[in-house]
Amino acid sequence: MPADASAKPNRLIHEKSPYLLQHAYNPVDWYPWGPEAFEKARKENKPILVSIGYSTCHWCHVMERESYEVPETAALMNQYLVNIKVDREERPDVDKIYMTAVSAMTGQGGWPLNMFLTPDLKPIFGGTYFPPEAKWGQPAWKDVVMQIGQSWRDPESRKKMLEAASHITESLKKYTEVSHDPQEGNASWLDEGFKSFKEVYDAQRGGFGHAPKFPMPVYHNFLLRYYARTKNKEALDMSLHTLREMTKGGIYDQLGGGFARYSTDENWHVPHFEKMLYDNAQLAVNYLEAYQITHEDDFKRVAEETLAYIQRDMTHPEGGFYSAEDADSLPSADAADKKEGAFYVWERQEVLGIAGDKAGEIFSFRYGVREGGNAANDPHGEFENKNILYIAHSIPETARQFTMPESDTELLLAQAKKKLLEARSRLPRPHLDDKIVSGWNGLMISAFAKGYQALGDKTSLESAERAAIFLKKNLYDPKTHVLYRRWREGDRQAHGIADDYAFVSQGLIDLYEADFNPEWLDWSIELTEAQNKRFYDAEKGGFFMTSVDQDANLLFRVKEDTDNVEPSASSVAALNLLRLAQYTDRKDFQDMAEKTLKCFGTNLKEAPRALPQMLVALDFALTEPRQIVIAGKPGAADTETLLKILHRHFIPVKTIVLAGPDAPEKPLEGKAAAYVCVHHICKQPTSDPKTLESLLLAF
């Protein structure tokens, strides 16, 4: 509800999107994306403002407070424009087109995204955050609105704006086309990919490039697989060092688990505090795979804590996973204004008062808590006198500092963490974006399935299975094979984009390899067939973001050509097709994967760092097929022993099958047996765990 009880709702009050509902009481006459708004713009001959964001976006909240909630500013917007609000997480297809446009115009992108359009939806001018008064080299929002609106009313100016918009649209179409020079990849491309990451690697603090630093799980996906292929220790060290440094920093929630979206500084210390499902799903997999390689307890701990965070705070009662938690929250129940990170930061006296003097001192030393605060690197000065928890000293250093045994030190720290987490849980929580996005749930299903494989935690398997059941029940139409993008409060909305089909299909393959329920593999194949029908470019290869029967109001179809904070649909789909081709012997799946890799060949060769997940698919395609068949009774101790040995090791290029009673692979003398095969040629089957381990290490 609005702070002003007399405020009247606008059209967004009928939407389900948490982001749109946040704007439902603005005095701006907002419309949702749709024909009503477009018709109004054409009828009244007004330019359109498309304002795009998401419910946990900090600067979206700032611009709302400073401009959209101000009656005078809203009046100008209503006078000159038809105003449309879009949730980028519901409509990433709309966001992609106009984010590409604003990035081309200004050299940068981000949210909120504010794009001015002609009535036929062609871009005129845009930007991200605009302040209420001119500063930081940015014009005032009111001035931008008036300039666009008044220029449009002048016939000569409007003619120039229309010509420019048509030119921009044609340029965007050409810019977003993937190279039509197909090239077949080879292992040297993987080598070049590794070199490209090495060029931007921060050897001191981990990560790639300068601040702000994003975790970028797709980078680790490639580097760990490059290590598995080549045994290049440098690639492994780059990934492991980055993962360790992230774990030490404030970007990781040292009390409750889970990662914030990015770090504003190079040391991973001062985060932008929002937590996204897609980040945590992919990072959990990174840490699980690092644990499989090293068997280091810290990687295991971070994976467990991240998965536990999702189970505790981000799971719908029926099993689906929520989208995000906000960066902003109220510092206390009686506070008037939200502040970024208020839920996560501490004053030193708070720590001592809650944990007790002795445990509080030990905790403060371990986690860098200082009188006067530790957030000197905060670029905006928002955390004065506050402490962002980070690992300042190791357990051995902390034990030596207080002349205590390490075991006693760990016990006191665990007790202090528990007390502080309980105290924090009583604070006003950050806003929860409780919509359920199918693609992000697919990523999280993968994480929980792999959590069960690597850690043997049955609650992880249950979480993955419940989420898959939830998606099939609430976001899938088995008659039309349509996967929907979003579900909230019983309402599903927007047909899924290619990402949704690819990410859910991947999750189902991973889930099958965890519990061997053929239902998941069958559904993955069904989804992949639907994906191929709707999104695959049969002429050139690759997958369009939007389907053949896309929203008619979109300017054009785009193929995502980068693996960013989320991997691209084409990269994930290519790998899915390669994996499913091994399960099904379907040549059409193999051919589509290979054509997709060739379609992006020029990009892979010339800019490999932009497509690390596509490099992962290329690595799979270049490796001889490896099948591991376990012949044994599901759930039996001897079967589980062999599976445990299998999952202890990081073997990314493989398929796993639990043989049914009619399969040619049989147990040996009544004991579960493993058949390790390369290109369908199998080694001598074995029931001995040590023999199986030696066969796996030979891969």
Question: Does residue 253 contact residue 283 with C-beta atoms inside 8 Å?
Answer: no
* Neighbouring C-beta atoms of residue 171, cutoff 10 Å: 12
Q: Name the residue among 495, 481, 485, 499 with its Cα closest to residue 570.
A: 499
CATH topology of domain 626-697: Glutaredoxin (3.40.30)
Q: State yes or no: pLDDT of 3 exceeds 60.
A: no
Contact of 84 with 48, CB cutoff 8 Å: yes
Q: Identify the pLDDT of residue 94.
A: 94
Per-residue pLDDT averaged across 350-377, rounded? 93
The residue with tokens 């069960």 is: 452
Q: Of the given ranges (330-339, 356-365, 433-442, 676-685), which has the lowest mean pLDDT?
A: 330-339
- Residues 6 or more apart whose CB falls under 8 angstroms from that of 349 comprise none
Checking if the pLDDT of 444 tops 80, the result is: yes
pTM for the whole thing? 0.94
- Is residue 337 over pLDDT 90? no
Place of tokens 């070199």: 195
Beta strands in 214-366, from DSSP E residues, in sequence order: 262-263, 271-272, 275-276, 324-325, 328-329, 339-340
Question: Tokens 């702070």 correspond to what residue?
Answer: 3
| Average confidence (pLDDT) over 512-520 | 96
Compare 135 and 324 and report the one with higher pLDDT: 324
> Looking at residue 556, what is its pLDDT?
86
187-213+298-322+433-622, CATH topology level = Glycosyltransferase (1.50.10)
Secondary structure of residue 144 in the 3-state scheme: helix
Burial class (CB in 10 A: 0-12, 13-18, 19+), 506: buried
Each residue of 72-128: pLDDT tens digit?
Answer: 999 999 999 999 999 999 999 999 999 999 998 888 889 999 999 999 999 999 999
Predicted confidence at residue 122, as pLDDT, reads 96
- Res. 210 pLDDT band, cuts 50 70 90: very high
Vertex 67 angle, CA 65 and 73, to 5°? 140
Instruction: Please provide the average confidence, as pLDDT, over all residues in the chain.
Output: 94
pLDDT of residue 1: 53
pLDDT at 379 over 80: no
**Higher-scoring residue by pLDDT: 182, 606:** 606
**Whole-number pLDDT of residue 334:** 83
Give me the percent of the chain exceeding a pLDDT of 90: 87
CB 259 within 8 A of CB 246: yes
pLDDT at residue 377 tops 70: no
Cα dihedral 169, 171, 177, 180 sign: positive
CA 467/CA 543 separation, integer angstroms: 26
**Beta strands per DSSP E along 541-679:** 626-631, 655-659, 673-678
Domain with CATH 3.40.30.10 in the chain: 11-175
The label of the residue with tokens 């088995």 reads 478
Chain mean position to CA 698: 34
Q: Where are the alpha helices (DSSP H) in 92-140?
A: 92-106
- Say if residues 488 and 435 touch (Cβ distance below 8 Å): yes
- The encoded tokens of residue 601 equal 């060949």
pLDDT at residue number 378: 58
Question: How far apart, in whole angstroms, are the C-alpha atoms of residue 433 and residue 436?
Answer: 9
Backbone angles phi, psi at 611, to 5 degrees: -135, 60
Residue-wise pLDDT for 105-114, tens only, equals 888 889 999 9
Query: What is the 3-state secondary structure of 562-588?
Result: CCCCCCCHHHHHHHHHHHHHHHHCCHH
**Residues contacting residue 40 through CB under 8 Å, at least 6 positions apart:** 31, 46, 82
Residue closest to 604 by CA, chosen among 592, 594, 621, 618: 618
Q: Give the integer Cα–Cα distance in Å for 695 and 242.
A: 31
- The pair of three-digit structure tokens given for residue 480, joined into one six-digit string: 């039309």
Distance of CA 642 to the CA centre of its chain: 33
Task: State how beta strands 82-87 and 482-488 pair.
Answer: unpaired
List helix spans (H) across 118-216.
141-153, 155-175, 187-200
Q: Is 516 left (phi over 0), alpha (psi -120 to 50) or beta?
A: left
Q: Which residues pair with 460 in a beta bridge?
A: none
Architecture label for domain 11-175 = 3-Layer(aba) Sandwich (3.40)
Q: How far apart are CA 426 and CA 667, in angstroms?
A: 55
Per the listing, tokens 């708004």 go with: 37
Element (H, E) at 123: strand 123-127
User: Helix, strand or coil for residue 426?
Assistant: coil
CA atoms within 13 A on the CB side of 193: 36
Does residue 180 register a pLDDT over 70? no
Residues contacting residue 242 through CB under 8 Å, at least 6 positions apart: 206, 207, 208, 219, 220
Task: Calculate the alpha carbon distances from 461 to 281, 311, 485, 641 in Å.
Answer: 14, 12, 24, 17
Give CATH 1.50.10.20 domain extents, the chain.
187-213+298-322+433-622
In order of 187, 503, 563, the CA distances from 572 in angstroms are 19, 7, 10
Percent residues over pLDDT 70 in the chain:
98
What is the 3-state secondary structure of 442-460? HHHHHHHHHHHHHHCCHHH
pLDDT band at residue 565, thresholds of 50, 70 and 90?
A: very high
pLDDT in tens, 284-326: 999 999 999 999 999 999 999 999 999 999 999 999 999 999 9
